[in-house]
Chains A and B, each alone.
Chain A
Amino acid sequence: MPLSEGTVGKPIPPQDMPLKVTGTATYAYDVEIPGMLYAKLVTSTVPHAKLKKVDTKRAERVEGVLFVFTGNEMPYRVGMYAGDRDLLAKDKVRWVGHPVAVVVAESLEAAEKAAEMVDVEYETLQPVFDPLEALKEGAPLLHESMHEYRHAPAFNPVPGTNIANKFTLVHGDVEEGFKQSDVIIEDEFRISHVSHAYMETQNVLAHYMRDGTLEIWTSCQSPFIVRQIVSESLGIPYSKVVVKTPFVGGGFGGKAGLGWEALVAMTSKLAGFRPVKLVLSRKENFASSASREAVIAKVKAGFTKEGKCVAYKVTFILDAGAYADYTVNVSRAMGYSAEGVYEIPNVYCESIAVYTNKIPTTAMRGFGYPESNWVLEQVFERAAAKLGIDSVRIRRINLLRPGESHTATGERLREDVGDPRKVLQSLLQQIGWGEKPQPPSKPWRIRSKGFALCVKGPSQPPNAAASAIVKFNEDATVDVVVGTGNFGQGTATSLSQLVADQFGLPVERVRVDLVRDTSKSAYTWQTVGSRGLFTDGVAVLRACEDAKKQIKGIASQVFRVNEEDIEIIDGMVRVRGRPWISIPLKDLVFGYVYPNGNTVGGPVIGRGYFASTLNTYLDPQTGQGIPTIFHTFGGTGVEIELDPLTGEIEVIKAVQVFDVGKAINPLLLKMQLDGGFIMGMSIALFEKIKFDEQGNILNPNFTGYYIARSKDIPESFSCSLVETPQFDGPMGARGIGELSMISVASAISNAIFLSTGIKLNNLPMNPEEVWRQIMNQRPELVEQALENMLKLTQEAKVQ
C-alpha cells in the first residue's frame, strides 16, 4: 500500500493494546514512591449534623499511625464551578460518607484500624433528602455561607436557599404555543442516582516537597483542571504543581472535576513532606465520591394535529446531593438540551440543581443530555400515538434543519453541522422499520422495535482550549505531545493517524505520549464532553502545518525554489512537478548538512492550538447563546423482548447511527458505539443507587448495584455512519464518545410503549418497576402471558 493513501479511515487497533493485554500498562493505582505513607478517610455516619468534636487520641495511639488530621488543620475550600466544598468537613457534616478526618500510617492496615478509632461527636440537624422538600421555604439549609462561595460566572446559585444553580431557557411564548396546540402531553419522569463505577477507584499519590513543588499522581480525566483546582484553592503557583496521569481505569465524567488531590496534597505537607497515597475502596467510592445526580422532570408539550411541536415546557429538578461542584453545569446542559434534535418555537425550561443530604454529584457521560433525552423522546412517541401519526413522521416534521434552524439556545445551525435527516433514514433502514420483528424467543414474551434520536456537543466554557507539539526526531520518527487523556477512547491512536498522513509516514513512526504531566504535556482544558479528538485533533493538525512550514523553509534553501513549490509526500520532501528532486525527511528535520559541513535549519518542532470560534456565555435570563463547538447528530434503534411475567426486558439487537463527520478510525469508533450502548443499556435496565431513610447507601457494591455483564449483551450490534464533514473539524471529524449512550434508554422505552402502550417514566426500567407499571397500566398482559405459557406446557405434555 503506498503511504500516500494514508491511514485516516483505516481500522487500526489502539497502539497501547500490547501494554494492556499483558497487564503492563501503568495506572495511578500501581504507582509507588519510596517512603510512601498510606491515608485512610474517616467519614460521617450521620447525614446532617454540627461537628462538635473530632477526637483523634485513640487513633493516634495505634501502632504504625503517624498522624490524624481534621478539618481544622485544613481550612481550604475547593471547587471548579460551584466552589462549594471544604477539604474536610469543618463545622458540619452534610451527608453519610462526608470525610471528617484523614489517618496517615506506615501501612494501610494500621490506617484502616485507626480510622475506626476516631471518635466523632455530632449534634444532629434535620436532614433533607428529597429535592422537592429542599426547595420549600423553611427547609433545612445545607450551605449557610453560599454567598461566600467562589462560583464560575456562568452559574446562578441562590444564597439562603438550597439552590446550587438555577438555569432558565426561554424563547418564544410557551403559553401562546399551548393555545395553538391541538394535543397536550403532560407527565412526570424520574431518574435514579447512577454510579460511574469506573473500575479503577479514585486514588491519589501526592508528594509535597520541601522546595514548594507539589507532585501528584492521580487517576483523573483532566490533569490541567486538577492543577487549576489545587493551585487556586491551596494558593500555590501553577508551575509548582505537577500533575501526572498515566493510564486511567475509566472515568465517564466521574474523574473530570474535583477529586481528592488537594486533600492528599495537604495531607502530604502536614505529614512532614512525606509522599502519601489514598486509594478509595469501592464502598468509599460509592459513599464518599460523587455520582450522577437523580432527576425529577415535569413536562408539558403541545402539538398541532399535523404533529408540529409548538410548545414545550419542562422543569428539571436535580438531586445534586451535598456538593454540586460540577452538577451546576450539568443542570445548565440538561436545560439547554431540552429540545434535542427538534426545532420548537415556544419553550420555557427551568433546570434547578438542589442541595440535599445525600452523596455529592458530578458530571457523567452525556452530561444532562441522556436525562433530557429520556423525557423528550418519550413525549414525541406518545404525541405521535395520540395524534395517530407514525413515529417517523412526527420526527421528520420537527427535525432541525442545517443552515436554517435555530437550536434551543438560539444558535443558527451551521450548514456543515451534520445531516439529521440522513441519520434518521439510515437508522430506520438498519432496524428494518416497518418490517415485523422476529417471533419472540418464548411465546409469552412480547418482541418489538423502537428508536430515539439525539444530538450533543461538548459543554465547555467558551475559552476552553487545547494545544499540541509535534517534534521530529533524528530518524524522522515523530513525538506528539498533547494533553488529552487515555481512558479507553484510543484518541492517541487517532491522533497518530492524523500526523502520519500529514507527512506520509507509516503510523508506527508516530508516537503520541501516553503519560500526562502538566509540566511537560501540551495544555488541554479537559478530556470530557466528546471533545478530545476534535479539539486536540485540530491542535495537532495545526502543529503539523507549523512543522511543515519549517521543513519547507529549510528545503527551499537547499533546493533553491520557493516554499510554495515544495511538497511532502511519502516521507519525502520534493519539488512539485519534479518529484525526482527530493530529499528524505530525515535529512531535513534536524537541519540539512552540506558535504562541507555547512548546515541550514535545525530541529523541527511544530506547535498548534485549538480555540473555539464564536462561542458565548449563555444569557442568564434566557439561556440564549452559543454553548458548544459542534453538534453530533445520531440515534439508537433496538429490538427487545419484554417478559410480562417477570417485568424483564432483554435487548436482542442494537443499532447505532451517527453523523461523525469523518471516521478517523472505524475500529475505535465501533468500540465506542458498542461500549456506549452497553453502558446506556445497563443504566436503562439495572442501575440505581438506593438509599435508606437515614441517607445510607444500601447497595455500595457490585452485588447490590448490578452492572451489565457479558451475558446481558444483545445478540447483534450494528452501526452505520453518516459522514458529513465539518470543515473546521480534524479531517472533518466530530466527537462521539458520550453520544453512544444518550438515546439508548429512550429507544428501549419507546419499543415497550409502541408494542404495549405502557408508559415507563422512571429509570431504571428494572423488573420491579416494569412489572409494577404493567400491573398498573395493563394487568391483562400478565394474564395473556400466563395463558400462553400454560398452553405451551400443555402442548408439551400432549407430545
Chain B
Amino acid sequence: MKKLSFNVNGIRRNTLTKDNELLLDLLRERLGVKSVKAACWRGECGLCTVLFDGKPVKSCLVLAVEAEGREITTAEGLAEGERLSDIQDAFVKYGASQCGFCTPAFVLTCHYIIESGKAKTEKEALELLNGLICRCGTYNQIREALASLLSGK
C-alpha cells in the first residue's frame, strides 16, 4: 500500500492505494464519486472519463498512483452549487442526454473542448468526442449544445 494525496473537485483526498488499483475503482468504489461510470472496463466506451489536470482521460486506463498531486475533475465538480456550468446548461437546453449514463463523460469532454479551444467547428468537436459512446444516440443534441457555445449563442 502506498500513500496517495490528490484533489478531487478541489477537495484534498488522502488515501492508501495498491500499485494495481485503477483510478476508476478508487474514485467510484472507495471515494464514492459515482458520476464516474464504467461500461466496458477496457478503454473503449469512454464513460469513465475524468479531467486529469484539466485534460480528459479514461480512468479505467489510469493507475490510481498516477494521480499523486494531481487535480481530478468530475461532472459533480463543474457546477457551483445549484448553478450549472455553461456546457451543463447547454446540455439541458438542447436535450443532450437521454438515459444519462454517458452524460458525465460527454459533459466533461465537451467542457474540455470548449475551454481548450481545440475545436473551431462542430465537425472538429465531433471528432474529439469520437472516443465516447452514447447508445441512446444523443450526438445530434450534443452537437447543438456544443455549437451554441462555439458560436457564443
Partner of A248, one of B34, B99, B127, B134: B99
Q: Is the CB of B135 within 8 A of A197?
A: yes
For residue A533, give the distance in angstroms from its CB to the closest CB of chain B. 15
CB proximity to B under 8 Å, residues A11-46: 13-14, 16-27, 29-30
Q: Is the CB of A679 within 8 A of B137?
A: yes
Interface digits, B109-153 against A, CB 8 Å rule (1 contact, 0 not)?
A: 000000000000000001101101111111111110000000000
A199 and B39 contact, Cβ closer than 8 Å, known pairs A21-B84, A22-B84, A677-B137: yes
A62 an interface residue at 8 Å Cβ cutoff? no
CB proximity to A under 8 Å, residues B65-89: 74-76, 78-79, 82, 84, 88
Q: Is the CB of B136 within 8 A of A250?
A: yes
| A679 contact set on B, CB distance < 8 A | 135-137
Q: Is the interface of A mostly helix, strand, loop or mixed?
A: loop
Partner of A489, one of B84, B93, B98: B98
Q: Is the CB of A282 within 8 A of B135?
A: no
B56 an interface residue at 8 Å Cβ cutoff? no
CB proximity to B under 8 Å, residues A220-254: 247-252
CB proximity to B under 8 Å, residues A193-220: 196-201
A670 an interface residue at 8 Å Cβ cutoff? yes
**Chain B CB within 10 A, most for which of A197, A200, A252:** A200
Interface digits, A708-735 against B, CB 8 Å rule (1 contact, 0 not)?
A: 1111010001000000000000000000
| B45 contact set on A, CB distance < 8 A | 199, 702
Partner of B41, one of A251, A282, A713, A717: A282
Q: Is the CB of A200 within 8 A of B37?
A: yes
Partner of B99, one of A488, A703, A710, A717: A488
Partner of B44, one of A30, A667, A678, A702: A702
A21 and B140 contact, Cβ closer than 8 Å, known pairs A199-B102, A709-B132: no
| B91 contact set on A, CB distance < 8 A | 17, 20-21
Q: Is the CB of B41 within 8 A of A709?
A: no
Q: Is the CB of A20 within 8 A of B84?
A: no
A674 an interface residue at 8 Å Cβ cutoff? yes
In the complex, A251 Cα to B99 Cα: how many Å? 9
| B138 contact set on A, CB distance < 8 A | 671, 674-675
B59 an interface residue at 8 Å Cβ cutoff? no
For residue B35, give the distance in angstroms from its CB to the closest CB of chain A. 2
| A710 contact set on B, CB distance < 8 A | 126-127, 129-130, 132, 139, 142-143
**Chain B CB within 10 A, most for which of A16, A703, A711:** A711
In the complex, A13 Cα to B138 Cα: how many Å? 14
| A677 contact set on B, CB distance < 8 A | 137
| A201 contact set on B, CB distance < 8 A | 39
A702 and B133 contact, Cβ closer than 8 Å, known pairs A22-B88, A199-B45, A674-B141: yes
Q: Is the CB of B101 within 8 A of A27?
A: yes
Q: Is the CB of B84 within 8 A of A18?
A: yes
A622 an interface residue at 8 Å Cβ cutoff? no
B42 an interface residue at 8 Å Cβ cutoff? yes
Q: Is the CB of B34 within 8 A of A675?
A: no
B8 an interface residue at 8 Å Cβ cutoff? no
Interface digits, A644-671 against B, CB 8 Å rule (1 contact, 0 not)?
A: 0000000000000000000000011011
A707 an interface residue at 8 Å Cβ cutoff? yes
Q: Is the CB of A671 within 8 A of B101?
A: no
Q: Is the CB of B135 within 8 A of A711?
A: no
In the complex, A559 Cα to B139 Cα: how many Å? 55
In the complex, A25 Cα to B36 Cα: how many Å? 11
In the complex, A589 Cα to B71 Cα: how many Å? 51
**Chain A CB within 10 A, most for which of B79, B88, B132, B135:** B135
A156 an interface residue at 8 Å Cβ cutoff? no
Number of B residues contacting the other chain (C-beta, 8 Å)? 49
Q: Is the CB of B101 within 8 A of A249?
A: yes
Partner of B95, one of A252, A667, A703: A667
A612 an interface residue at 8 Å Cβ cutoff? no
Closest B residue to A740 using CB positions? B137
| B130 contact set on A, CB distance < 8 A | 709-711
Q: Is the CB of B135 within 8 A of A717?
A: no
Partner of B92, one of A13, A490, A711: A13
| B75 contact set on A, CB distance < 8 A | 21-24
For residue B50, give the distance in angstroms from its CB to the closest CB of chain A. 10
A14 and B99 contact, Cβ closer than 8 Å, known pairs A21-B75, A23-B35, A709-B132: no
A281 an interface residue at 8 Å Cβ cutoff? yes
Interface digits, B24-42 against A, CB 8 Å rule (1 contact, 0 not)?
A: 0000000000111101111
Q: Is the CB of A249 within 8 A of B99?
A: yes
Closest A residue to B91 using CB positions? A21
Q: Is the CB of B35 within 8 A of A22?
A: yes
In the complex, A277 Cα to B65 Cα: how many Å? 28
| A149 contact set on B, CB distance < 8 A | none
In the complex, A708 Cα to B88 Cα: how many Å? 23
A788 an interface residue at 8 Å Cβ cutoff? no
Interface digits, A476-495 against B, CB 8 Å rule (1 contact, 0 not)?
A: 00000000000111100000
In the complex, A676 Cα to B139 Cα: how many Å? 11
Q: Is the CB of B88 within 8 A of A21?
A: yes
For residue B113, give the distance in angstroms from its CB to the closest CB of chain A. 11
| B129 contact set on A, CB distance < 8 A | 709-710
Q: Is the CB of A675 within 8 A of B39?
A: no
For residue A106, give the distance in angstroms from its CB to the closest CB of chain B. 13
| A200 contact set on B, CB distance < 8 A | 37, 39, 99, 101
Closest B residue to A21 using CB positions? B88
Q: Is the CB of B35 within 8 A of A24?
A: yes
A701 an interface residue at 8 Å Cβ cutoff? yes
CB proximity to B under 8 Å, residues A463-508: 487-490
For residue B83, give the distance in angstroms from its CB to the closest CB of chain A. 10
In the complex, A247 Cα to B40 Cα: how many Å? 19
Interface digits, A670-693 against B, CB 8 Å rule (1 contact, 0 not)?
A: 110011111100100000000000
B47 an interface residue at 8 Å Cβ cutoff? yes
Q: Is the CB of A707 within 8 A of B140?
A: no
Q: Is the CB of A701 within 8 A of B40?
A: yes
| B140 contact set on A, CB distance < 8 A | 674, 678, 713, 717
In the complex, A729 Cα to B30 Cα: how many Å? 48
Interface digits, A408-421 against B, CB 8 Å rule (1 contact, 0 not)?
A: 00000000000000
In the complex, A529 Cα to B44 Cα: how many Å? 30
Q: Is the CB of B93 within 8 A of A282?
A: no
| B35 contact set on A, CB distance < 8 A | 22-24
A26 and B135 contact, Cβ closer than 8 Å, known pairs A21-B88, A199-B101, A668-B95: no
In the complex, A708 Cα to B129 Cα: how many Å? 12
In the complex, A490 Cα to B91 Cα: how many Å? 14
Q: Is the CB of A18 within 8 A of B40?
A: no
20 A-B residue pairs with CB within 8 Å: A13-B92, A13-B93, A14-B97, A17-B97, A20-B103, A24-B76, A196-B135, A199-B99, A199-B102, A200-B101, A249-B39, A249-B100, A250-B136, A282-B40, A488-B98, A678-B139, A678-B140, A701-B40, A710-B127, A713-B126
Knowing that A23-B75, A27-B101, A713-B126 touch, tell me 14 more A-B residue pairs with CB under 8 angstroms: A197-B133, A199-B37, A199-B102, A199-B133, A200-B39, A249-B101, A490-B95, A671-B95, A671-B98, A682-B137, A701-B40, A702-B45, A708-B137, A710-B127
Ranked 8 nearest A-B pairs via Cβ? A23-B35, A488-B98, A678-B137, A249-B101, A23-B75, A20-B100, A675-B137, A23-B104
